Amino acid sequence: MVARTMTSDASLSSAPAQAVRRAPASYRSCSYASPVGMLTLAAADDGLKGLWIEGQKYFAGTLDAPLEEGMDAHLERACTWLDAYFAGNAPALDALTLAPIGSAFRQTVWRILCEIPYGCVRTYGDVAKEAAARLGKARMSAQATGGAVGHNPISIIIPCHRVVGADGSLTGYAGGISKKLALLQAEGVDVSAFHVPQRSTAP
C-alpha cells in the first residue's frame, strides 16, 4: 500500500510533495494533556502524521497502520511546541516536520491553513480562493475546501480552528465547536462577532 504525504519545510508554502511512501508497520504515538482535552499524536520516520483531540471526528482516519505507544524526536518536538502554544505563545512551525497523509488538493489546503497567523481568522471562501489560485483553477468547490479543512489530521498545529464561515459562524470543526472557540479565545481573537450554528456542520 502506498500513501501520499506532505512534507513541510520552514515556510510550509512549497508545492505539494509528489513522492509516495510505503506505510509503516505502525505509527509511534503519545498522549498530551491539554486545556482542551487529551490529545493523541502520531508520527513516523518522515514526520508528524496526526494530532487529534479526544472525541474528535475522523480520529486517526488518515493513518494506514495501527498506533503504537512510544516517543521519538518528532513527537518530542511537537509536545514542546504544544507547551509553548498553551502557555500563550505563538511558536513557529519551522521546528516541526509535518507529514500528514492526504491528496495533493488537501495538502494544498493544509499549507494554506499553516499560513494563517496566530490570533487571526480566515473564511472558507478565502481558503477556497487561495487554493484555486495555487492549483491554477478559476474557482474551487466550497464543499471540497470545507472537507479538506474538516479532515485536517494535525489539529491545532495546522490551525483549521482559524477558519470561520463568511457569516461569522464557528462552523465545521471536527474537534467540536466548544474546542474551536476555546482555541480562538486563547489566541486573543475577539469572538464577539461569531456565532455557533444551531446544528453541526462539520464535513
**Could you report the per-residue pLDDT of 36-45, keeping only the tens digit for each?**
999 999 999 9
79 belongs to the catalytic site: no
Q: Provide the CA 7 distance to its chain's centre, in angstroms.
A: 14
Please give the model's pTM, rounded to 2 decimal places: 0.86
Q: Provide the CA 133 distance to its chain's centre, in angstroms.
A: 21
> Tens of pLDDT along 163-196?
999 889 887 788 888 999 999 999 999 999 898 8
The more confident residue out of 6 and 95 is 95
Find the catalytic residue in 30, 79, 120, 160.
160
Report the pLDDT value the prediction gives residue 39, as an integer from 0 to 100.
97
Report the pLDDT value the prediction gives residue 29, as an integer from 0 to 100.
96
**What gap in Å lies between CA 78 and CA 69, rounded to an integer?**
15
Q: Is 142 helix (H, G, I), strand (E, B) or coil?
A: helix
Decide: residue 185, CB within 10 A, 0-12 exposed, 13-18 middle, 19+ buried.
exposed
CA torsion angle 119 140 4 95 (round to 10): -20
Report the pLDDT value the prediction gives residue 3, as an integer from 0 to 100.
39
Q: Give the mean pLDDT of the chain.
A: 87
Q: What is the DSSP letter of 24?
A: P
Q: What is the DSSP letter of 117?
A: P
Please name the helix (run of DSSP H) or strand (run of DSSP E) that holds residue 80, with its range, or none.
helix 73-86
CB of 101 within 8 A of CB of 65? no
The three three-digit cell numbers of residue 192, written as one number? 464577539
The three three-digit cell numbers of residue 78, written as one number? 511537537
Please determine, for residue 8, whether its predicted confidence score (pLDDT) is greater than 80: no
Cβ contacts of 161 within 8 Å, gap of 6 or more? 155, 173, 175, 179, 180, 183, 184
The three three-digit cell numbers of residue 200, written as one number? 453541526
**What gap in Å lies between CA 24 and CA 109, rounded to an integer?**
25
> Tens of pLDDT along 80-113?
999 999 999 999 999 999 999 999 999 999 999 9
